[in-house]
């Protein structure tokens, strides 16, 4: 993955692009700023009902923009969800999954052999065509950074913030459009905050991390305003998957009224906080009922840049501009995959579960619980239960917590199935799964000797190659 | 209970009072408008995170006023909670409880012998002294009103709205201060809405009822504005107990991230939506962390009227004006009673459970579930479990859902116990329980021949007196 887009040798071209656009009277396309959280839950925002109300900046962002209460990750785990954001495609299409076992969440620890295939078209590379300078700040970094596990102190969010502010200022002075992907990770266990934020929350250390991120978002938006960029910068805030309830309450967040969390395909695993902000374009104070996806950020970003999504492959992301700018609602299903398995689908207000699973009995009995305090009989199952013939269907409007399956005999069930069935069948009939990329692990591929390791005295000899099937327990 | 305060013969005295106040230059005290919901849950408001966001008027009320995320009912059941609001006292003090069995929620069906003792001082009667005209609209009414149980159609909220609007207009023209207690009940099963609202919600019939109430609140506040009364009318919105999850999802609401619902002393049973609105006095857009109680509405209303609470008895309600007007935080515990039993107490962020109980195994196995989909081991118990020696303690900031009891060995537990213990001991040492009023039931006391029954041809002969111990299963 070539995400760190270097600017060298680019400046001239960008200026030419901008000049070219100017010549025909077209305005420069807007800057794009994606604020992607790590394991932050839907319920962690004050505007989504977190009782301690400690996200004044995000709440204000929502009040000045459009809130999406029905916005979804593309996977209940971080890496596939992020790969989907960057490709606009479900992991099952791009190959960012495993077939080692059914319905397993795979990701990209250092020993995995594979990732996003080179054949995929990534958002920053596509945006280059429209003259964008791109930068990722966050979840990928060069050096291990110390987090004091006892106190939770780390300065990393401040570094990420500084990088973001510097990049924005620099692009502003160069007057080039930018794509900034700000992928902070303070809300992923081990959670951390810098000293001024430690102990500042009513919610413990996790809340401290949220407060620092909230403060940082406030500073970023303030800088955009100070630089006069607020109406030429599209900002979107969301998260990669639901709160990690296995780490709650000290190191995990809140999924509000939703069922279960990260790793699961219940709403708590995949419904995300989501806010669009673009003063003067996205009307203030709006709430959209649109079913949205992180994959839409791919297509929407391209649309903002005046680009079409790649036409040689299926793209799952929608262009949300009609939603954002005209308040339209686009009819589309949401698919909930876990690895190679379509677990559930939502259309309109109804969600059908074709498979249910939390985690194995063995793990559960050892205390690994993706749904602490929650137990919906026959739904939060510890064995993989198939319901493809007669899916469990919930009405997410009346029952966002997925506690009350519709009666199979009810007219509502029959009608929901009539609407969901064809959408799912069409999806499955036309789906061409990519080659699974996350099947093989090999400690030899770990980053033993990264570039620059000599200077740091940290080069290690790689061990002999020992490829094996990765073990994906969830 | 003499709640329907007649105005006849009163007008002159009121005008004299107002004139008297005017003469010494004191402004007329503000009008007081309490909007008390029935079984509406904390999570039913958009501003508290309800995903369908269907309470634009209440959300605006919060944006224009002060939101209280930590506001509590005085009981997890309607009648005792309402009695506490009107008396400013815990039901255990006023006698509004039963001692027929331990920890039972009692209320006032028609066959109960008893209620609020005559010795209690009720808010409307006290407010008379400051010249207030009082009216209750809602949960007490004269005639049975038809609700179409098949469609859920009923026009009752519109009648309640009309009564409220007429009363406000009338008091405005008379220029007298008023106390209006608007106790609508459309969100209590069987839930209902009038035809324009039926089917208008994403949340089913319960949501229709919420939408009609939200619309009505918007109309009431609009009338206050139209009449120029907005800065001379203190409005408070809250509910009598948590959402009735036994009726969910079609006839019951949402307690957001909180545990269980109505009838229980978990947060879902007693934490309520709460908004104060008084433009020009209560600053807009505030969120207060104050631990509040419906009993505070008694004391705060008296303070608004320039009155002291009765000094000859313990009053549990606080005067919230320092919170509302100056943003102060007042240190106070919250006590969670179920009938004659102190089940739990909160001080600061910590809540200690001395007893846990949802309902009996017998009932639970018949499908009566106060905590559907929720199960916290050793916490949501189906037998009455005593923890007085070693209470279960939760940190409500990190863990609003009461899912993760603190470890007994932790320093945090010990410190929380050190702070909670004395407050609870002091409360219990000085408590003088009132004579229990809700022990005896007798069908002979039902309203067989209410005043006016002759005209309606609805007088019935009362059966012979047959007093017996009431059966209170919860």
Compute the nearest-CA separation of A274 from chain B (Å): 12
**Longest CA span, chain B:** 69
* Residue B207 near chain A (CB below 8 Å): yes
Question: Per the structure block, which two tokens stand in for B400?
Answer: 């609003």
Task: Say whether B248 and A403 touch across the interface (CB within 8 A).
Answer: yes
Q: How far apart are CA A161 and CA B208, in angstroms?
A: 44
pLDDT of residue B146: 86
The secondary element (H helix, E strand) that includes residue A355 is strand A355-356
pLDDT tens-place values along chain A, 474 residues long = 333 332 222 222 233 333 333 334 567 999 999 999 999 999 999 999 999 999 999 999 999 999 999 999 999 999 999 999 999 999 999 999 999 999 999 999 999 999 999 999 999 999 999 999 999 999 868 667 889 999 999 999 999 999 999 999 999 999 999 999 999 999 999 999 999 999 999 999 999 999 999 999 999 999 999 999 999 999 999 999 999 999 999 999 999 999 999 999 999 999 999 999 999 999 999 999 999 999 999 999 999 999 999 999 999 999 999 999 999 999 999 999 999 999 999 999 999 999 999 999 999 999 999 999 999 999 999 999 999 999 999 999 999 999 999 999 999 999 999 999 999 999 999 999 999 999 999 999 998 988 888 988 889 999 999 999 999 999
Report the mean per-residue pLDDT for chain B: 93
Compute the nearest-CA separation of A451 from chain B (Å): 41
Scan residues 4-43 of A and list those with Cβ closer than 8 Å to B.
Answer: 43
Taking CB atoms and an 8 Å cutoff, what residues of chain B touch A374? 373-375
Asked if A387 and A355 touch (Cβ cutoff 8 Å), the reply is yes
Q: For residue B206, give the nearest of A397, A407, A412 by alpha carbon.
A: A397
pLDDT of residue B408: 97
Within 10 A of B408 (CB to CB), how many other CB atoms are there?
12
The secondary element (H helix, E strand) that includes residue B163 is helix B156-174
- By three-state DSSP, how is residue B237 classified? strand
Q: How far apart are CA B342 and CA B91, in angstroms?
A: 11
Q: How far apart are CA B335 and CA B317, in angstroms?
A: 12
Asked if A27 and A227 touch (Cβ cutoff 8 Å), the reply is no
Task: Say whether B249 and A398 touch across the interface (CB within 8 A).
Answer: yes
Q: Chains A and B: how many Cβ contacts under 8 Å? A: 116
Q: How far apart are CA A325 and CA B336, in angstroms?
A: 48
pLDDT 10s digits, A4-48:
332 222 222 233 333 333 334 567 999 999 999 999 999 999 999
Within 10 A of B113 (CB to CB), how many other CB atoms are there?
17
Task: Say whether B256 and A49 touch across the interface (CB within 8 A).
Answer: yes
User: What does DSSP assign to residue A405?
Assistant: P
- By three-state DSSP, how is residue B154 classified? coil
* Residue A376 near chain B (CB below 8 Å): yes
pLDDT of residue B458: 85
| CA geometry: angle B428, B430, B432, nearest 5 deg | 90
All residues at 6 or more sequence positions from A455 whose CB lies less than 8 Å from its CB, including other chains = none
pLDDT of residue A142: 61
Task: Say whether B249 and A404 touch across the interface (CB within 8 A).
Answer: yes
pLDDT band of residue B143 (cuts 50, 70, 90) is low
pLDDT of residue A26: 60
Q: How far apart are CA B103 and CA A281, in angstroms?
A: 57
* Residue A196 near chain B (CB below 8 Å): no
* Residue A375 near chain B (CB below 8 Å): yes
Asked if B353 and B392 touch (Cβ cutoff 8 Å), the reply is yes
Residue A134 backbone phi and psi in degrees, to 5: -120, 150
Compute the nearest-CA separation of B70 from chain A (Å): 8
pLDDT 10s digits, B355-372:
999 999 999 999 999 999
Nearest to B43 among A49, A69, A395 (CB): A49
Distances, alpha carbon A464 to alpha carbons A123, A447, A460, B140, in Å:
35, 14, 12, 81
Looking at the DSSP bridge assignments, the partners of residue A32 are A179, A234
Task: Say whether A399 and B249 touch across the interface (CB within 8 A).
Answer: yes
All residues at 6 or more sequence positions from A37 whose CB lies less than 8 Å from its CB, including other chains = A184, A187, A213, A237, A238, A239, A240, A273
Whose structure tokens read 């069995």?
B101
A405's torsion region: left (phi>0), alpha (psi -120 to 50) or beta?
beta
Question: Per the structure block, which two tokens stand in for B59?
Answer: 């959300």
Q: For residue B146, give the nearest of B154, B158, B134, B138 by alpha carbon.
A: B154
pLDDT 10s digits, B247-284:
999 999 999 999 999 999 999 999 999 999 999 999 99
Q: For residue A237, give the nearest of A206, A256, A210, A257 by alpha carbon.
A: A210
Taking CB atoms and an 8 Å cutoff, what residues of chain A touch B266? none
Mean pLDDT, range B403-421, rounded to an integer: 97
Percentage with pLDDT > 70 across chain B: 94
Whose structure tokens read 């025909």?
A24
User: If DSSP states are collapsed to H, E and C, what string results for B406-437?
Assistant: CCCCCHHHHHHHHHHHHHHHHHHHHCCCCCCC
All residues at 6 or more sequence positions from B461 whose CB lies less than 8 Å from its CB, including other chains = B448, B449
Task: Say whether A49 and B70 touch across the interface (CB within 8 A).
Answer: no
Q: Among the listed ranges A50-54, B9-13, B77-81, which one has the minimum average pLDDT value?
A: B9-13
Task: Say whether B204 and A373 touch across the interface (CB within 8 A).
Answer: no
Mean pLDDT, range B14-18, rounded to an integer: 31
pLDDT of residue B9: 27
Asked if A249 and A39 touch (Cβ cutoff 8 Å), the reply is no
Asked if B257 and A49 touch (Cβ cutoff 8 Å), the reply is yes
Task: Say whether B401 and A373 touch across the interface (CB within 8 A).
Answer: yes
Q: How far apart are CA A287 and CA A255, in angstroms?
A: 19
Task: Say whether A248 and B399 touch across the interface (CB within 8 A).
Answer: yes
pLDDT of residue A4: 31
All residues at 6 or more sequence positions from A229 whose CB lies less than 8 Å from its CB, including other chains = A31, A168, A172, A223
Within 10 A of B142 (CB to CB), how many other CB atoms are there?
11
All residues at 6 or more sequence positions from A317 whose CB lies less than 8 Å from its CB, including other chains = A88, A89, A293, A295, A296, A297, A298, A299, A300, A309
Scan residues 98-117 of B and list those with Cβ closer than 8 Å to A.
Answer: none
pLDDT 10s digits, B203-223:
999 999 999 999 999 999 999
pLDDT 10s digits, B457-471:
889 999 999 999 999
- By three-state DSSP, how is residue A85 classified? helix
């Amino acid at each position: 993955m070539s995400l760190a887009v270097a600017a060298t040798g680019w400046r001239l071209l960008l200026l030419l692009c901008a000049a070219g656009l100017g010549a025909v009277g077209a305005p420069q396309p807007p800057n794009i700023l994606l604020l992607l959280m790590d394991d932050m839950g839907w319920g962690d925002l004050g505007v989504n009902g977190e009782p301690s109300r400690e996200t004044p900046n995000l709440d204000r962002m929502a009040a000045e923009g459009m809130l999406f209460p029905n916005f979804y990750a593309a996977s209940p785990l971080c890496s596939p969800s992020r790969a989907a954001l960057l490709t606009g495609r479900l992991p099952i299409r791009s190959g960012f999954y495993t077939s080692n076992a059914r319905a397993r969440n795979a990701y990209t620890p250092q020993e995995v052999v594979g990732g996003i295939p080179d054949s995929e078209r990534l958002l920053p590379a596509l945006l280059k065509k429209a003259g964008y300078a791109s930068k990722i700040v966050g979840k990928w970094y060069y050096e291990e950074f110390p987090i004091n596990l006892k106190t939770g102190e780390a300065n990393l969010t401040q570094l990420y913030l500084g990088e973001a502010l510097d990049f924005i200022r620099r692009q502003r002075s160069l007057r080039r459009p930018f794509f900034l992907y700000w992928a902070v990770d303070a809300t992923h266990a081990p959670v951390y905050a810098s000293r001024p934020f430690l102990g500042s929350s009513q919610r413990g250390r996790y809340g401290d991390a949220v407060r620092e991120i909230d403060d940082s978002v406030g500073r970023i938006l303030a800088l955009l305003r100070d630089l006069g960029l607020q109406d030429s910068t599209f900002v979107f805030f969301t998260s990669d998957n639901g709160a990690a309830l296995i780490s709650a309450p000290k190191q995990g967040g809140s999924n509000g009224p939703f069922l279960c969390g990260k790793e699961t395909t219940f709403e708590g695993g995949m419904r995300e906080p989501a806010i669009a902000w673009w003063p003067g374009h996205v009307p203030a104070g709006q709430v959209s009922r649109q079913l949205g996806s992180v994959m839409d950020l791919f297509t929407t970003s391209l649309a903002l840049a005046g680009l079409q999504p790649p036409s040689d492959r299926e793209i799952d992301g929608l262009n949300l501009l009609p939603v954002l700018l005209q308040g339209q609602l686009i009819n589309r299903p949401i698919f909930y995959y876990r690895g190679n398995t379509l677990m559930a689908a939502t259309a309109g207000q109804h969600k059908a579960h074709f498979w249910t699973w939390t985690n194995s009995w063995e793990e559960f009995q050892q205390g690994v619980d993706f749904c602490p305090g929650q137990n919906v009989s026959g739904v939060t199952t510890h064995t993989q239960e198939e319901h493809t013939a007669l899916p469990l269907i919930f009405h997410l409007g009346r029952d966002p917590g997925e506690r009350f399956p519709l009666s199979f005999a009810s007219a509502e069930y029959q009608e929901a199935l009539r609407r969901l069935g064809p959408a799912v069948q069409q999806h499955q009939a036309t789906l061409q799964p990519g080659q699974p990329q996350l099947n093989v692990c090999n400690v030899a591929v770990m980053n033993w000797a990264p570039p620059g390791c000599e200077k740091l005295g940290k080069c290690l000899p790689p061990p002999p190659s020992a490829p094996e099937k990765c073990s994906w327990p969830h």
